[in-house]
Each structure stands twice: as C-alpha cells, then as structure tokens.
Structure 1
Amino acid sequence: MADKFDAAIGKRLRQLRTERGLTQTQLGDMLDVSFQQIQKYEKGTNRIGSGRLWVISRLLNAPITYFFEDLEEVQQIAEPEPVGDGRLSRDSVQLARALNELADGEVKSQVAKLIKAIAKAEHS
C-alpha cells in the first residue's frame, strides 16, 4: 500500500516527467533504473530516496521543493480517528470481519444500521 506522501511525490514526478516530454523508459535510462521502477515511484509504491530525488530534480531542471508542494494538503486529508484508545476488542474485530464478508447492498446496510441502533440504545 502506498504511503500518501510517497504517492503525492510520485504524482508530482509523473507530472514533471510528462511536462518534460519524457517516457518512463527515458527517465529510467537517465537514472539507470528500469521503467518499472519509475512506475513504482510514480504510484508511490516505492519511496524515492532523498539522494535520488535530488538527482531527479537536477535532471528534470526543477527545484527540489517542487516535489513537496501541496504536501500540507495531503497531511490534512481526513484519517479515521481511533475510538477510545484505538484498540478494538476481539468481538468488535470479529463483528467487523463478518460484516465485511456480506455483499454490499441492502442487507449489509440494514445490518450496519441495526448494530448502530443497538449501540445507541445501549448508551442512552
């Protein structure tokens, strides 16, 4: 799974590479890596090391700060807040897994509503 920051930096790399009219293969050749590695960088699957990022910025004639623009916005993307201390009981995990196994649709939606209603009534 791609880290949100690595994915954002990879997206900036893809934008810059295409603006410069380069293919993934061409950039890979310039860096002595495969085009598959460039794909992984651009998707955020593989993290770009600081030294490699500096070389890329020089090769593509862009300030290194280009890759970090708008990262404040990425940081502010809502992440689920942990409930309580962030740990779930074994029963909660088993219930979530069972709910997840239901096909998306009306039944799953109604079961989720039922669980929420029971929880709400219990806390009233």
Structure 2
Amino acid sequence: MKQTLVQTTRETDIAIGATIKILRKQAGLSQERLAAAIGVTFQQVQKYEKGTNRVAVSTLIAICHALGAEPMAVIGPVLGKAPAGQSLAVLHLHNRLADAEERLEAIKAIASGKLPVVSGADIAAAADLNGYFVTQ
C-alpha cells in the first residue's frame, strides 16, 4: 500500500528528530544546553527530537552549528545516506541505545526518589516534560 504524504512527512520528522538526538548525545550536550545554544526551550528540543514539531531549515542549521555537525549528518539518514564514517545501521543502533539509556536513567531517578511526586491532575501538564514523574 502506498503511503500518503502525511505519513511520509511524519516519518521524516521522526527520523530527523532521532538523528538530532543521536548527534546531541554524541556531542555530550543536554537538551537544556542545546536549547540555550539555539534560543528555544528544552521542551522545544524534546519536541524536535520526538518528531512532534517540525524543524525549520534555519533551526536545523543552528542545531548543526551547536552540535558541530554538518546538516547532511541530519538529513543524510532520511535520504538513505549515512554521514561519512557511519552506516545507517550504526545510527539506528545508537538511537536505540540512547533511548534505553534515557529510560534507565529515569528508572534510577525513580528508584532513588530524585523525581518529584505529582498528583494525577499534574500529569497532563507534565506531558511536555517527557513523562518522568511518579504519581501518588
């Protein structure tokens, strides 16, 4: 079955966001530091990385400057071209590892009691904060 433009656009936004996340982690930057470098909130960076919000070309260039990467390093995987010295398989594995590490850090924070406890009413407001909260 042929995909619609909406489906392929959504997949492209997700793939670009995932690649930005990989490059950010490789650069050793937090979402907060990247956000400060490009003049947006860390929640906006989260939305870019999840593919929830589309990244404008001007923003992509700013992100690449902040990460010390070429724009083709972000766009290449979407076009089926990996950045120099990396295969697409390595990029995908790195992304899966980054997601697993993020989940592990959240679990550790929950286990150590370092995350705030919020009520059920606060959960909707916390959705943009990646859902890392413990409910009562």
Partner in structure 1 of residue 39 of structure 2: 32
Partner in structure 2 of residue 66 of structure 1: 73
Question: Structure 1 residue 19 and structure 2 residue 52: aligned?
Answer: no
Aligned-partner Cα distance in 2 for 1:70–1:33: 25
Partner in structure 1 of residue 132 of structure 2: none
Aligned-partner Cα distance in 2 for 1:72–1:53: 16
Aligned-partner Cα distance in 2 for 1:70–1:31: 22
Structure 1: runs of 5+ lacking an equivalent: 74-124
What's the offset of the Cα at 1:67?
A: 0.7
Aligned-partner Cα distance in 2 for 1:7–1:53: 14
Aligned-partner Cα distance in 2 for 1:48–1:72: 16
Partner in structure 2 of residue 9 of structure 1: 16
Secondary structure at the aligned position of 1:48 is classed as coil
| 2:48 counterpart letter in structure 1 | Y
| 1:69 counterpart letter in structure 2 | G
What TM-score, normalized by structure 1, do the two folds share?
A: 0.55
Aligned-partner Cα distance in 1 for 2:75–2:21: 14
What TM-score, normalized by structure 2, do the two folds share?
A: 0.50
**Which residue, out of 36, 44, 50, partners 1:43?**
50
How many positions carry a matched residue from both structures? Answer: 73
Moved over 6 A (4+): none
Structure 2: runs of 5+ lacking an equivalent: 1-6, 81-136
Q: Percent identity?
A: 37
Partner in structure 2 of residue 101 of structure 1: none
Aligned-partner Cα distance in 1 for 2:62–2:40: 13
Aligned-partner Cα distance in 2 for 1:61–1:35: 19
What's the offset of the Cα at 1:72?
A: 3.7
